[in-house]
Amino acid sequence: MRSKEQQVLVEKLPNLAERPKVKTERSFAEFPQEPDERLEVLLLSFVESKRSVDFLLIPDLPNYITTEDFWRNFLDVYAGTELSGLDKKSHLRVANKIPYQHGLSSKFFRQFGENIVVGFTRTESGRKYGVPAACLSLDFEKRTGISLTKVFGHIKKPTSAGLTTQYIRAKILEYLSQQEFPVREIDIARNLKLEQSHAKDIIYALSVAGVIDYEAVGLTVAPQTTFRLGEGALPDKRLPHSSWKLSTQLIEICRNLGENGQLITLIAVLDLIPDEIRQHYNQNSLTAGIRSVFSSLENLGFLARVGKFKHGERESAASLNSTGRIVFSEFLKPYLGIVNDDRKVHETVSSTVVPVVLGQLPQHGKETLNVDLEFLQLYKQRREIAAEKRRQILELLKEEPKSINELSSQVGLHRAGVMRFLNSLVKEGRVMVSVNGKPKYYSLAKQKRGEIKAA
């Protein structure tokens, strides 16, 4: 059974179907019906400016453009740029690939024992959703100079959760736009049903792209036992298992904290111990002494346990910055209106953005290409640096097993960066990790010792 859209194609293009000795086939997928799926498809298709230009060169039904004209028109738009030398075969290999896979366009095949693509046309979904989305992308980049490729990424493969990077970044930006204060990364992960480590990577990438402010910090200390002043009296004699000077000083500190309405914790007390007492202890012995005094004072009723809390708790949090708000309000919000069939947004984009972009396509194409190329060159440099760091880690592990701290100091990377490389290498089977004792030691997998050059 033909779908309604397939039937329209057949009815509107009888001249192609009836050509003698040539069998012509219109082939396309269905455009998604769910707004989130539509958003994912449009971002995949049009965050790279040259893909938007490519799609806008294709006509609507009942017309189609031949592969020859498609290629030549593409070269005309990018005349004088590095894309002006693109050969026809290379263009045909990638032309309109993603829109075609998701029902925004259709190909015509002429069959002589094998399929030969002879032309392209836009589907009804391509006209309704693809054209305004592509024009909006080009208009935004030209006006603001902000690279959408940099903001949303250009990796097309879905993640382990089955979602594309572009979609996840868009949903994080949308979520942060609704928040008045910075949001913890764990709350972002829960809201989007992501693993926290995955959310952390995406949030970090958005901060590198310059659209969010992200403070990545950890808890300052482990959970601390908390006390307040109790009803018990102080002892007449020295406390067991502690020096007289230390216990006397701690009792005074605890009394002052409690009378001032403050909670009594190990960290709070440590900060108030004078240097003349501190100099007689190392950190471990001083901490042990304080805990011993706390225990004795609690047994006497002078201190009453409140519970445990994370003293000085600060967790990684993210918020939209001024650039991020521009991206959301001037690009992503209208995109969401398009995929949700917001009539007002469709009318506004179709009447104000689409005519301008289509009327000045070569100008939009060249200016936005420069915006994207600046990011892609920077991305290429980072990839080269990352590849070199990865190779250094493998070379060091070839010598002997090493801990993360050792690798961090020798490679010149933060522990988190080294950990990211090691996790990737372990998954690939190139590196092994010891599971006995701490710290963990990493070593080169035996079968991989001769394969470092391929890293």
Condensed to tens digits (0 to 9), the pLDDT of residues 350-365 reads 999 999 999 999 998 8
Given a contact cutoff of 8 angstroms between Cβ atoms, the answer to whether 51 and 45 are in contact is yes
Residue 383: band (very low, low, confident or very high) from pLDDT cuts 50, 70, 90: low
The number of angstroms, rounded, from the C-alpha of 69 to the middle of its chain's C-alpha atoms is: 38
pLDDT of residue 242: 60
Q: Name 443's bridge partners.
A: 432
How large a percentage of the chain has pLDDT more than 70? 78
What average pLDDT does the segment 1-27 reach? 44
- pLDDT tens, residue by residue, 253-286: 888 888 877 778 887 888 788 878 877 777 778 8
Residue type, 419: M
- pLDDT tens, residue by residue, 156-171: 666 555 788 899 999 9
What average pLDDT does the segment 32-53 reach? 92
pLDDT of residue 24: 46
CA distance 133 to 346: 10
What average pLDDT does the segment 19-23 reach? 39
Given a contact cutoff of 8 angstroms between Cβ atoms, the answer to whether 138 and 52 are in contact is yes
Residue 317: band (very low, low, confident or very high) from pLDDT cuts 50, 70, 90: confident
pLDDT of residue 73: 92
328 versus 92: the higher-pLDDT residue is: 328
Q: Prior bond to 439 cis, omega within 30?
A: yes
CATH code for residues 378-454 = 1.10.10.10
Give the count of beta carbons closer than 10 Å to the beta carbon of residue 309: 13
Structure tokens belonging to residue 452: 């470092």
pLDDT at 369 over 90: no
Given a contact cutoff of 8 angstroms between Cβ atoms, the answer to whether 150 and 292 are in contact is no
**CA–CA distances in Å: residue 439 to residues 94, 401, 406, 433, 442:** 48, 12, 11, 11, 10
pLDDT of residue 409: 77
- Element of type H or E holding 392: helix 361-399
Between 10-19, 211-220, 279-288, 384-393, the lowest mean confidence (pLDDT) is in: 10-19
Residue 324: band (very low, low, confident or very high) from pLDDT cuts 50, 70, 90: very high
166 versus 455: the higher-pLDDT residue is: 166
pLDDT of residue 246: 82
What average pLDDT does the segment 407-411 reach? 80
Given a contact cutoff of 8 angstroms between Cβ atoms, the answer to whether 52 and 134 are in contact is yes
Q: Name 120's bridge partners.
A: 65, 107
Q: Are strands 317-320 and 303-309 parallel, antiparallel or unpaired?
A: unpaired
Between 120-134, 185-199, 213-227, 312-326, the lowest mean confidence (pLDDT) is in: 213-227
Helix intervals (H) in 47-145:
49-56, 67-77, 88-94, 97-101, 124-125, 131-144
- pLDDT tens, residue by residue, 98-152: 888 899 998 877 655 456 778 888 999 999 999 999 999 999 999 999 989 889 9
**CA–CA distances in Å: residue 50 to residues 74, 101, 358:** 9, 17, 14
pLDDT at 217 over 70: no
pLDDT of residue 89: 84
pLDDT at 56 over 80: yes
pLDDT of residue 382: 62
pLDDT of residue 308: 57
pLDDT at 23 over 50: no
Helix intervals (H) in 193-306:
196-208, 244-259, 266-272, 275-278, 283-300
